[in-house]
Chain A
């Protein structure tokens, strides 16, 4: 594929959030490369995902387990099911490295997760490391930095 334009990168990030809001989790999972990670740090400015706890630091296998679990007939924490809503600022392309096939975007967002009568609100900055693979844009790293990453939380069951 020709190097993706800024507009294509930005549209990709917006489209990713829409898949989550529409609960099209299998299609969403398919946006990740095989070696991808989804990272939600626990610390402000965290640099090490391995020797410091994170809220999530998941490879495709772990993400797939989550997606499958959401469908399970004995997944009681999803009875009733959760829903989510992303409100994104226009993603900014922060870095383009065509030689290395790596593109980085930065996207402030508000995220709402609801279940039954309860609704929780989060604010975060999302960083995507994107690559072009076989004519498609894919995610190698999605990092979600919550403004209150070190707060005590209740359940967060879906994906920001």
Chain B
């Protein structure tokens, strides 16, 4: 029997002001509804245009569980298509590459121009007088209607309901801006490879954790705490290695995290690290500040580099780290399975040492071999298992709750507040039910 399908109010009732129901994490039917509503009504990142620099370049990607293709068409535009042949559904591409002037389906060799239109069908005469011209198939590949390329970051919205790009993101684009502006020429390129890490838990646990400032000093005592302890035993005068600069701030105090602040925007977007963050005290990279000052002028350069936003969440399932040039996607695979992709970027025109630090951060923190990752995944796994028990059906999100908070948008809160998580679930209920 269906508990939630076709019952908008039952779905809405799962999110209370300060509590959320466990079914959001464990109910397969809700997962299916998320794929059909949440990931359809929101704008989602599909890729970066530096992955498809030339005409015919394509990149196989997804929104939710929908396979997509991002392609650079012959007219230079980046388009996004459902990754499916209109004939009998065969997925057209795998990975990335260049398809030339057309896509060719590997099954029966129908071909499509890079704008998606049908180019040729073998023995086409056999479709004459069949009404083929009125079929769905003759229209070619199905294009995703809403695509927006924001300074290289390509987003798409699958559905027709839901807000436009500007309305959906609002002022939150300032975090992307800051990441991009860190390049002296204002451009990023995907570089360094992608780390892919399988998680046996619901995707939302990972999203919440990005701005969970009450866990690092507890959960990462095992990794970052050990790093600090081991580093203390190094002979006096040893230069602090980059790896210790990366690990040590995870052990910062409650006070540090309280004071860093969290900024919340509409629709569940927000970021930690308003005044400072765990990325504030990295050693200067020789020559970089000078390059930036030359490119932007001293004052503007300082403003760009002075932002040390920690994690910015673009709801539903993307997180970026501007100061590290890193983007993570928490890809939902099933109600209890998530694939985490951690992508990194080169700041075009900046010293290579920055990319080296970015790659080091990624492997120390986001790899399947990362001790920080092991710490976090253990908690998600236990959470996923714990939620199956019937002791209590609700998760509590009450820290620093104020009944009038919903009226305060673009607000800055104490860095340990669970406000942003409450906003995630407000957004969840909103985008889930708007098309029901």
Residues of A within 8 A of B (CB): 40, 42-43, 50-57, 59, 61-62, 64-66, 68-69, 72, 74-77, 151-157
Contact = CB atoms under 8 A, between A and B. Distances in A.
Contacts of A50: 356, 359-360
A153 B198 contact: yes
Contacts of A56: 363, 367, 369
Contacts of A52: 192-193, 359
B371 A53 contact: no
Interface stretch (B67-75, B97-105, B374-382): B374-382
Interface of B: 191-200, 219, 221-223, 225-227, 229-231, 234, 241, 243-244, 247, 339, 344, 352, 355-356, 359-360, 362-364, 367-369, 371, 373-375, 377-379, 382
B363 A66 contact: no
Nearest to B362: A53
Nearest first, the 3 A-B pairs at minimum CB distance are: A152-B196, A153-B368, A77-B378
Contacts of B379: 76
A55 B377 contact: no
Contact of A155 (B231, B243, B362, B377): B377
Contacts of B222: 69, 72, 74-77
B421 to A, nearest CB: 22
Nearest to A55: B369
B196 A153 contact: yes
A53 to B, nearest CB: 4
Contacts of A65: 223, 226-227, 230, 247, 371
Contacts of A157: 369, 374
A158 B243 CA distance: 19
A55 B363 contact: yes
B177 to A, nearest CB: 25
Contact of B352 (A51, A64, A75): A51
A74 B379 CA distance: 12
Given A53-B195, A76-B222, A153-B198, A66 B367 contact: no
A53 B356 contact: no
Given A53-B344, A153-B198, A74 B368 contact: no
A18 B225 CA distance: 29
Nearest to B373: A155
B363 A156 contact: no
Nearest to B371: A69
B368 A53 contact: no
A77 B375 contact: yes
Contacts of B199: 154
Contacts of B362: 53
A61 to B, nearest CB: 6
A41 B330 CA distance: 23
Contacts of A151: 196
B7 to A, nearest CB: 35
Contact of B356 (A51, A66, A152, A155): A51
Given A53-B363, A77-B375, A153-B368, A43 B197 contact: no
A53 B374 contact: no
